[in-house]
Amino acid sequence: MAKNMSETKTAQKLALAFAQLSRSAARKKAYSRKASMKGRPEVASFLRAMSASETVQARRLFNSLIGKIDTSDAYLTTIFEDEMPAILENYAELIASGTDERPALLHALTQLRAAETRLRSFYTPEKSDVKVEKDADYFVCTFCGYLSTNNPPDKCPICGAPKDAFHKIN
């Protein structure tokens, strides 16, 4: 019975992570439109890439489960200081709790956390802004959500997927 209870708690946390990522990806799409309207096409492109990455992560979590857009100008702060820490904390809790009986899930969660950590590395909290190049291209690994700038790597540094697993974000 304890195993079923553990699986239920894990399923609940997975569902929460899926919901967080889905909401976060949808918000980033909306925020990319806002950035575009504000004359920041480089930020808009980056946010679309982040959205694609988190969509991959959410889809992967959804597969493992089987069966209020913030309209303020503080959208980058919301993404990086509110949403992403919550996602990373949930990943840490999922990794720490009861995934020993599911090594493939533990491996997937570790990769997804690494992809989200990579996304967070673009943020400069002191400026409440992102470090992005004006004409950067973005490529997202369709397996783990890793975000690469300008060119896809020959091999994903997180999951090892080949170059052709990367999707260019327009």
Decide: helix, strand or coil at residue 137: coil
Domain harbouring 111, CATH code: 1.20.1260
- Contacts of residues 154-162 at CB distance under 8 Å and 24 or more positions apart, as own/partner, are 158/111, 158/114, 158/115, 158/118, 159/111
**81 found inside a domain:** yes
Is residue 102 predicted with pLDDT exceeding 90?
Answer: no
Q: In the chain, how many domains are there?
A: 1
Q: Which domain holds residue 28?
A: 2-131
For residue range 103-136, list pLDDT tens digits in order. 888 889 999 999 999 999 999 988 888 999 889 9
**93 found inside a domain:** yes
Query: Can you name the residues that pair with 168 across neighbouring β-strands?
Result: 139
Could you report how far apart the first and last alpha carbons of the chain are, in Å? 49
For residue range 62-76, list pLDDT tens digits in order. 877 755 345 567 888
